[in-house]
Amino acid sequence: MNSGRCAACKSQRRKCPSDCIFSPYFPANDPQRFACVHKIYGSSNVGKMLQEIPPNLREEAANTLYLEAKWRIEDPIYGCVGIISSLYKQIQNAEIELAKIQTQIAFYKLQTQQQVIEAEPNMEVLQSQSSNMEQFEVDNLFEWENPTIASWFN
Amino acid sequence: MGGSSPCASCKLLRRRCTKECIFAPYFPSDDPRKFAIVHKVFGASNVSKMLQELPIHQRGDAVSSLVYEANARVRDPVYGCVGAISYLQNQVTQLQMQLAVAQAEILSIQMQPEPSNNNTTLLPSQLLLDQDDNEKFLLLSTSSAENNNNYEFLPQYLSSFASSSSSSSNVFQDSEPLKRESFC
């Protein structure tokens, strides 16, 4: 009955019982999968973790344990935490880029509005009707000497 | 020296803490929980083997990342850190979509004919935009594409977890992992 053993029991050189907790998730045809989790977590820890999880979630748990073990083997210092850190940086960079572009869009729109106002015959009336706050914001956006704003477009 | 207290790992494992104890620099006795959680998930002997295979100056970072992973696994026994990765990857994808929309919008604005007002005075920053905006647009597109390529491998591994990511975001309450933990 040796051929019926799961990868875990083959690796541990023991009989594979019918209720083996590893056998549904660590088949014999993928020995590397169990070898990874065994190297990082140890087979008894993996067995304990799987026991504490409801049966319908054990496959997901085995998959994520395998992934994390694999990433830890590939990067012994940071493991999957290196990936998390890189994703954080990607998000940060994307948010900065997005803010820059949205500011550019706002700048263009305001400039277009300003040009429309200047082209209107009653522009003085329109300008006096605009709120003080809008005028303040327009003045600041045109403050190209502001080093922070100027640097975004350089 | 003879009177120094055992490190957290030797206390938990109930053994003598020698001068050469591999755990002592990283698991001080005043934080027993740190070692307890790492021991629960990885096992002391596995942690010891992992640390022994690393140069000394990298062991501090390795311990910090192991502690982070162990905490994540205890909080979410099914998905652990993979849940957090899936969640973050979704955020990256959404941001990249927003970036693409914003870039398309700015391109369409730039392509619109300008109002016919010959008295408009162009500001220096405006001049810079007009000259270089196409180049900047290409640069932005390139940087987004490069960011996409960095983690092409992730979707294939995480495709089965994508639908579960909403339940796993509870792992990710803390701030950035490499800032949260103090590296030796």
Closest partner residue to A87 among B64, B89, B124, by Cβ?
B89
Tens place of pLDDT for every residue, chain B, 184 residues?
A: 445 789 999 999 999 999 999 999 999 999 999 999 999 999 999 999 999 999 999 999 999 999 999 999 999 999 999 999 999 999 999 999 999 999 999 999 888 776 555 555 555 455 444 444 444 443 334 444 444 433 333 433 444 443 444 444 444 444 455 444 433 3
Dihedral sign for Cα atoms in the order B151, B156, B157, B163: positive
Yes or no, beta carbons of A90 and B92 under 8 Å apart: yes
Chain B contact present for A87, CB below 8 A: yes
Residue type, B122: L
Among candidate residues A42, A43, A77, A49, the one with its CA nearest the CA of residue A64: A49
Distance CA A133, CA A137 (A): 6
State in Å, rounded, how far the first CA of chain B is from the last one.
22
Residues of A in contact with B62 (CB under 8 A): 76-78
Asked if ipTM goes beyond 0.90, one says no
**Block residue for tokens 């021991």:** B39
Chain B contact present for A138, CB below 8 A: no
Chain B contact present for A59, CB below 8 A: no
Minimum CA–CA partner of A70 in chain B:
B157
Residues of B in contact with A67 (CB under 8 A): 82, 157
Domain ranges of chain A: 1-74
Can you give the three-state secondary structure of chain A, one letter per residue?
A: CHHHCCHHHHHHCCCCCCCCCCCCCCCCCCHHHHHHHHHHCCHHHHHHHHHCCCHHHHHHHHHHHHHHHHHHHHCCCCCHHHHHHHHHHHHHHHHHHHHHHHHHHHHHHHHHHHHHHHHCCCHHHHHHHCCHHHHHHHHHHCCCCCHHHHHHCC
**Block residue for tokens 């019982």:** A17
CB B30 within 8 A of CB B7: no
